[in-house]
Every structure is written in structure tokens, then in C-alpha cells.
Structure 1
């Protein structure tokens, strides 16, 4: 009996030593909410920061022992190999035996704990974690391919409107909290390529098409995403806010976002990241919670251009279930590596050049490295009824998504039933109201009216950019962050934003290369060449 008692005591002590992690408990945030009301930016005046719809402790549930041991014994020694390292650099360390995919994945889980469970550092960037992720990483180690420019074994986070069969796909909404569904087409592509699906990121609820004037990065499921370059001070950008914040903070190697109009470009530029909004149809939307089948696309959000290319090449592919899908070529990396800025024809906006010192600095840098710069003063073009297109598309497309991909046990089936569901407890489910959703129900369009509107907007978007592309035979137009994203969306033009520096308040800014439809290769060559000479990406101070 004494031996048994001794063994039990030893096991208890050993367990305590192996798991000394502190559980998260929501705290009184009332003083922080009051303080936020003084922010000059009305969209940073919060009604809530912490989520009351989800227990944050579920993120690390089942990993406590591994995380505790890793932080104690390995975390610090791996920082140099992982933090701010590109995919090729990480793959090289793995090939050389300095690192494994298992340790890489556990590093990110441990870092999530260290940041997201610290009440002075947390960012609310993650909604859920794949509970099989460490086992998947072990399998990747057993079958390592030794390829440097490959997504194989690399942990990736998905915006939580992208279907993954191990986790609910919520779009940040309480009404979709149990939406266990099949993989999106692009997730199957990632798994086929050997990527490690780490988990799901927070986002502006319903991809920023739900409430009027609400903060970027807020969702009922995830709470308020915070910008690591200025917590509660700087905007995260949206709607792929969590993907931007988590990747910038080195909580994963790379991530996926989605965009209708600016939702990759905005959070990428707001978090010193590279973000690609591809040509509509190059990347499948099947299995992604929609706003607009006319304009939606997914895309990579990464710290470096090379990583962006690797992810992009991993997720392109023709999908029979997406009416816009088209066969497209992979990016030729050798061409990217051998590219330069010399003799590239780039258009820049004169008003930005005169009024934005960071933009001016980077335009001058491009000139110094041999690019040909053309001053642009485009004629005004109106995107009439852009919002009506989004309203009508979402009214229809959300019904189609819930029928084709939604879990059959969901209590909601369309926009109207979601509004009704949220109204049962608006404090928890919709603290900023449902203004956009309510507007969707007004004045539905006929099929003929919707078709005409799509054609009209496509024509307007093309007119806005083509007047510059054709006049000077440009390779790209240069913008800032997500400026002009609506025109690019309407024209189905690809956009690549690359870090170009920081404002005086430490807000990151991005130089955005806008190309003709289908010209991702040229954009990546330009972005890579610019990144090589500018080197403006910086990690958050904390």
C-alpha cells in the first residue's frame, strides 16, 4: 500500500511539473472599453474585446503537457530558426536536421499560448486549433521530401470562413458555431501538397459584411482582434484580420485570407505582410462562406514574397464546382529569382506622391533601381451600385453555401433566419447590430438585373485601370494598402501588397502592385524585386 501511495503522489507531482500552464479567465474589461471611446478612429471604439461565446482554453486543450515541456526545454533555442524565417529557410533547417516539422508545429502552439494567454499581450487572432496537428506533423517528418520551395510540412492557418473538416467553419458567427463541414477545395489542395493545417483565424464577422461601422477584426466567436503593432490603438485591417495578425506575430509560418474588396490587402498592409488578391477564378471558392460569387477569392498572406508564391502555387487548380474557376499556370520561380526592376513600366498616382511621404520614398526607390515611372491622373469612374451587387450576391450565395456545404443541423438557412437568431441575444451575438444584413433584405434583384449589374461593374472597373495600362503599356499600377481595391475587384484584377514602411504612429503601410487580369507572374516578379531592395518588413516589438 505504501508503494502504491508513493507512486500516486509521484504521478501527481510529475503531472503538475509537466503542466504548469495558466488557464485563461476573462477579466473585467470595462475600463478598457471606456478608454477606447476616446480613440480618434471611430472604428476602434470597442463594445467588446474578449469573446464571451467561446472558451479560449479550448485552443490548447490536449496540448498542455507538450506545450509546457517545450517552453521549458526547447522554445528559446528554436526562436532563431523559426521567427521571421521564410519557408525556404525553415525547410533548409529541417533538411539539415536542426529542426523537425513536429517541433516547428509545437513551437507555434507554444507561442500561441505565450501570447494569447497573456492579458498584456493577447491578440485574439485564433478561433480554433486542429487537435490532430501534432500527429500530422509527425507523419510529415516520417515522409519528409527535402524540398526547399515547398509547403510540405509547413503549418498554415486558415481564415475561419474556409472549410476544414476537423473544425467548425464559423465565419466568426455564433449561428455557425457548430458548422462542421467538409474541406474547401483549396484545403484539399494544401493537404495534397503536405501542408499542416494548424487551425482557424479570427476575422471580421461574416467577412466584414454584417454590421455598419463596426471594428475590423471583431467577431462573436473570436472577440476583437488586436493589432500587434499597437494593441487597441491601431486598426488590424479586415476582414482577414486574424490571418494578418497571427502571421505577423509569428504564430504560424503563413496563412490564408479571403477578399471581396480589400479584405486581404487591408490586413496584410496593416500588419507588415505580403498579401495576394488573385485574379477571380485562379483560386477556387468552393467550401468558403461567401459574400459575392462575382468578386470573392481566397489568397495567401505571408511575411515574404517567396512564401506567398509557394502558397499560391499550392492552392491554384481547376474546380468543377466553381463557375468562375479556370486552369492557370504555376508561378515560374526561376523567372522571379532572375527578375529585376530595370525597365519595368509602373504607373503611380500623383496625388499620393504629393501627399504621402512613404509612398513618395518608395516610388523614388523604384526609380533609382531602373524602373520607368509614369505619373497617373485617371479620369473618375463611378462604381454605381457596387454595394447592391454585394447585397444581392450574398442574399443568394449564402443560401447556396448553407445548402451545399453547411452542416445539416444548423438552425439558420438564410440571411433572414440569421438576423432572427441573433436578435434572441443581441448582446452576445451582435453587439454592433446587423445593419448590413438587414439592408440585404431590401429590394431584391431579378436575374436579369443582377446580370446587367455584374456586366456594368466589370466594365467600369476595366475602364478605370485600362485607361492607364493601355496609355503607357504598364506592367503594374502602384497604390497604397487597399486603396482602389473596389476597382480591382470589379475588374477581376490581381493585386499584390508588399511592406513599404511604417507611419509615425507605427502603423505599417504596404505598396500595392495592381496588374492586369491573369498577370500574377509579373506582379510576383515586381514584388520580389521590390522586397529585395526595400526590406521594409519588421516584426512587432513584442
Structure 2
């Protein structure tokens, strides 16, 4: 058996855990108990976990027995994974997008990604807290806050270091070693933003690579689920399970030819050699001194690995105003459709009913108001309206032909480099992939405009054209292996365990 198992799970990667399970050094039941103990001991100051799966131990027991009878299903067999609270699971856990209105809602079916994880033998350990309605509630809402779960704090400096959102709990839980990995969702920055600030790896896939069926929707054309992990390899392992066609999501049928069965085959520490990477300096103009130094350091690392930096790449879309009515239309249409299918016992079945519910429970529900919800309700939600169609056409053209694809072609580069989530809006409108990897740790004691210290983790992000995940995974892995910046946070024990 493994000595000091509580310490062993800290920073343990998926393959290491799987090898220990195969040798019989540990069982999945013991593994679940170790993670549950760690959550109990350390999550209270972080608040990353919204609820735990009451059947997790029994599921682990069944998977242990299956391993003995017929062998493992694959690399995720018996591995605990946590899910963002806007991903449906048809079990004893609730799916609420952080809203008290859905606090007792049990989804009618598993989301496609949840079903894929179960089929792969993963243990769905719990649901993670998030920015309510994936930041669709109110623009003023603090990242990581939900009326149901309260505020998620960054394990690298609870209350001081920015957490990022909206997959805040997913990134914090992985950073704090509360599970082997997590699934987040992104509409615009919601995976890469918290991943960067929590020193973990996040992949935002191309729209159409991973199904959206069973995700509480925000944007039809921008939403996607994606993996959050402590290494590029672990993220690639999870992406291999998540990616694939779904008859209920037409975008995945169009993207089926781009799916790869095993994304770990693209892990190559020499992937940077001969690669040309563009740096759009427009997106660096507002950076403070400490994060800018991290970007400059990343550029030097890339050059040392044989990559060519094409600096000061410009894109015609830089500084334009995106048409934000697109997401408002899609949010109303998608949320009305989702809520209408919920159990009759759930108190809301439309966006209008949700707004009314929040007004009736204002003390709990409206700490930051609900301007995002009301602005969406003010649209028709009809996706053939001229306002919507023109807005979608504008966003796609500017983000693709006048954005990412323009830069790649005009400057003959293979990928673009950003600090953290700075390139997330352009990739969101284009529907293109991003991968964030730990890029460095700032330590200068400065304050940001929001009052947070700028000390803490920062990620760097590689962006590419549609379905360029193989390239981006290789680049991120090469950078990660050359730097190995990630280290686990020093956690504060929960008060009741002291």
C-alpha cells in the first residue's frame, strides 16, 4: 500500500493514480475517501465545492469490483472528477448554475459530457461552485459568486488573489487537489480565466468538438465544456473522453471529422521547434508591470525552445465593439428551452419566471442585481430576428476573417500568444480553441485597480484556428515541460478541523 496517502494524492496525475490502482496499491474507494477528507479539511476557506455525490463511495466500490473482474475501461477508470454546477447529472446531485431558484433541481438526464465520463469509468465526485448563470446574471457580479454557494476564493491567497470565473470552483478545486481533474464550461473566458489565476491547465475546445447537450445554456454559438487539470497531459486525457459527435448537438456532427481518439498523442516536448507564434500587443496595453514581465518571460522561453516570435501582430478587430445582443438573444432562447423541461416541482420554468422568483427572494438572490437576466428578457429570443442575425454575422466576421484567421495568414504564424484570458473574447466569437498553461508567479506586492494584489499565478494562453487542438496541446506541453512553473498552494485548514 501507499505510504502517507493523504500527501501522495497532492499533485498526483491521472496516469500515476491509475498505475497505483492497477497495482493494487490503492482502491478507488480509498481514493474517494482521501479526496473527501481533503475537501473536508481544506475547502471551507476556499468554498470551491457546492455539493458532493452521496453515491461516490458506492460507485467507486462497483468500479473496483469491475476492475477485478474484467479489467479497467480506460485511463479514467475509478478516477474522481468534479463538474461545474451548470452540467446536468441525473443522479442525487443538483444542477443549478449557482442559482437558489434551481437549488433543488435534479436534471432529467445526464449531460453528454457527464455520460461520457461515466462510460469511461470516471467517478463524478461532486459539483463545483461557479459565477451564477455563468456570469449571465449581472455584469457587476463578483467572479466566483453564486446566490446558492457564496463566493469562491483563490487557494493561492483567499480574499487577496483574484479567483477568475465563471468556472471558479472547478479551477480552485483542481488547484487545491480536491479531485484528479474537473470539467468547466466557457462562453467567453470562463475556463481559461480561472485556470490561469489558479495555476492549472484549461482547454476551451473549438465549438463542435465537445457536445453542449445538458449544459445550462448561456450562448448557443459560444458555449462549450472543457477540461481543467494540473497538467497538459491530464487535460488531454479528459478531452479524449469528452470529444465526439452527439446526435442532439448538430455542431458536433459537423465537427466529427476533426475528433481525435487520443489527444495525448500530441504531447511533444519538442513541439515548439520551427513554430511561428504571433503576439498581438494590443491585448497587452492594459497589463500591469508584473503580468507583463510574465508574458515577456514566456516569449523568451518559446524562443529558447526553437520557436520564432512574431511580435506586435495586429488584427483589424482589435478594439471593436462586439455585438453583445447576440448572447442576450441566445441566453433567452436557450434558458427558456432548458427551464421548460425541468421537473414541475422546480419553481421556475422560463426566464421571466426566474426574474420574478429572484425579485421575490431579493435578500438572497439579488446581491448584485439581475441586469443580465432582464436585458436578455427584453429581447424576443427569436434567432431569426434581423438584429440577432446581423450581430452574429458581425461577430463571426470580425473574430475570424478580421481576427484570428487574419493574423495567422497575414503574419504566417501557426498560433497566437496571450497572457491569461486576454484573447478569450476574440476566440469566443470565432468559436476557436484556447489552452492555458501556468506561465509564472508574480511576487511584487502591487495592487490591481480592483483592490486585489497582483501577486499570484498567471497563465499564458495559446490560440489557434478551428480544430487546432492538436497543435495547441503540443505547444502548451512543450512550454510546460520546459518551465514546470506549477506548484500546489499552501492551504489553510477549515476551522472545524483545527
What is residue 127 of structure 1 aligned with on the other side?
50
Tell me if 1:400 matches 2:337: yes
Tell me if 1:538 matches 2:477: no
Distance in 2 between the 1:331 and 1:91 partners? 17
Cα offsets for 1:18-65 (capped at 9, x unmatched): xxxxxxxxxxxxxxxxxxxxxxxxxxxxxxxxxxxxxxxxxxxxxxxx
SS in 1 for 2:225: strand
What is residue 222 of structure 1 aligned with on the other side?
149
Task: Give the counterpart of 1:431 among 337, 348, 367.
Answer: 367
Task: Give the counterpart of 2:196 among 263, 269, 275.
Answer: 269
Q: Which has the larger radius of gyration?
A: 1
Distance in 2 between the 1:401 and 1:252 partners? 29
Distance in 2 between the 1:454 and 1:161 partners? 24
SS in 1 for 2:227: strand
Distance in 2 between the 1:78 and 1:474 partners? 46
Tell me if 1:115 matches 2:42: yes
Contact 1:91/1:146, CA 8 A, preserved across alignment = no
Backbone CA RMSD of aligned residues: 2.0
What is residue 96 of structure 2 aligned with on the other side?
170
Q: Residue 101 and residue 443 in structure 1: after superposition, are their counterparts in 2 closer, same or farther (change >3 A)?
A: closer
Cα offsets for 1:470-514 (capped at 9, x unmatched): 023322100011102111011111000000111224321001000
Cα offsets for 1:299-340 (capped at 9, x unmatched): 000000010001101111211111322312234433424643
Cα offsets for 1:260-290 (capped at 9, x unmatched): 0000011100100100000001111111101
Superposed, 1:22-421 pairs within 5 Å as 77-117=4-44, 122-144=45-67, 150-166=75-91, 167-181=93-107, 182-326=109-253, 327=256, 328-337=259-268, 339-350=270-281, 352=284, 356-381=292-317, 384-404=321-341, 406-421=342-357
Measure how far apart 1:96 and its partner are: 2.5
Distance in 1 between the 2:41 and 2:229 partners? 21
Contact 1:156/1:254, CA 8 A, preserved across alignment = yes
Distance in 1 between the 2:124 and 2:328 partners? 32
What is residue 59 of structure 1 aligned with on the other side?
none
Distance in 2 between the 1:233 and 1:310 partners? 32
Q: Residue 478 and residue 294 in structure 1: after superposition, are their counterparts in 2 closer, same or farther (change >3 A)?
A: same
After superposing the two structures, state which structure 1 stretch, 130-139 or 451-460, moved more: 451-460
Q: Residue 338 and residue 209 in structure 1: after superposition, are their counterparts in 2 closer, same or farther (change >3 A)?
A: same
After superposing the two structures, state which structure 1 stretch, 500-509 or 226-235, moved more: 500-509
Measure how far apart 1:87 and its partner are: 0.6
Distance in 1 between the 2:60 and 2:409 partners? 49
Considering Cα pairs closer than 8 Å and 6+ residues apart, tell me whether 1 or 2 has the greater RCO: 2
Measure how far apart 1:407 and its partner are: 2.4
Distance in 2 between the 1:163 and 1:516 partners? 29
SS in 2 for 1:457: helix
Distance in 2 between the 1:362 and 1:233 partners? 25
Tell me if 1:514 matches 2:463: yes
Measure how far apart 1:443 and its partner are: 4.3
Contact 1:254/1:302, CA 8 A, preserved across alignment = yes
Distance in 2 between the 1:148 and 1:413 partners? 39
Contact 1:205/1:220, CA 8 A, preserved across alignment = yes
Distance in 1 between the 2:442 and 2:227 partners? 24
Contact 2:167/2:194, CA 8 A, preserved across alignment = yes
Q: Residue 212 and residue 348 in structure 1: after superposition, are their counterparts in 2 closer, same or farther (change >3 A)?
A: closer
Distance in 1 between the 2:246 and 2:473 partners? 24
Distance in 2 between the 1:350 and 1:440 partners? 33
Contact 1:87/1:148, CA 8 A, preserved across alignment = no
Q: Residue 419 and residue 316 in structure 1: after superposition, are their counterparts in 2 closer, same or farther (change >3 A)?
A: same
Q: Residue 522 and residue 500 in structure 1: after superposition, are their counterparts in 2 closer, same or farther (change >3 A)?
A: same
What is residue 456 of structure 1 aligned with on the other side?
394
Measure how far apart 1:249 and its partner are: 0.4
Distance in 2 between the 1:541 and 1:143 partners? 36
Q: Residue 466 and residue 376 in structure 1: after superposition, are their counterparts in 2 closer, same or farther (change >3 A)?
A: farther
SS in 2 for 1:456: helix
Contact 1:88/1:149, CA 8 A, preserved across alignment = no
Cα offsets for 1:384-417 (capped at 9, x unmatched): 453211111101110111234x223222122221
Contact 1:275/1:498, CA 8 A, preserved across alignment = yes
Measure how far apart 1:146 and its partner are: 6.5
Distance in 1 between the 2:46 and 2:252 partners? 35
Superposed, 1:462-473 pairs within 5 Å as 462=400, 463-473=402-412
Cα offsets for 1:158-213 (capped at 9, x unmatched): 00000011111010001111210121011111111100000100000001110231
What is residue 446 of structure 2 aligned with on the other side?
none
TM-score normalized by structure 2? 0.89
Contact 1:257/1:299, CA 8 A, preserved across alignment = yes
Contact 2:94/2:105, CA 8 A, preserved across alignment = yes
Measure how far apart 1:75 and its partner are: 10
Q: Residue 496 and residue 295 in structure 1: after superposition, are their counterparts in 2 closer, same or farther (change >3 A)?
A: same
Measure how far apart 1:76 and its partner are: 7.9
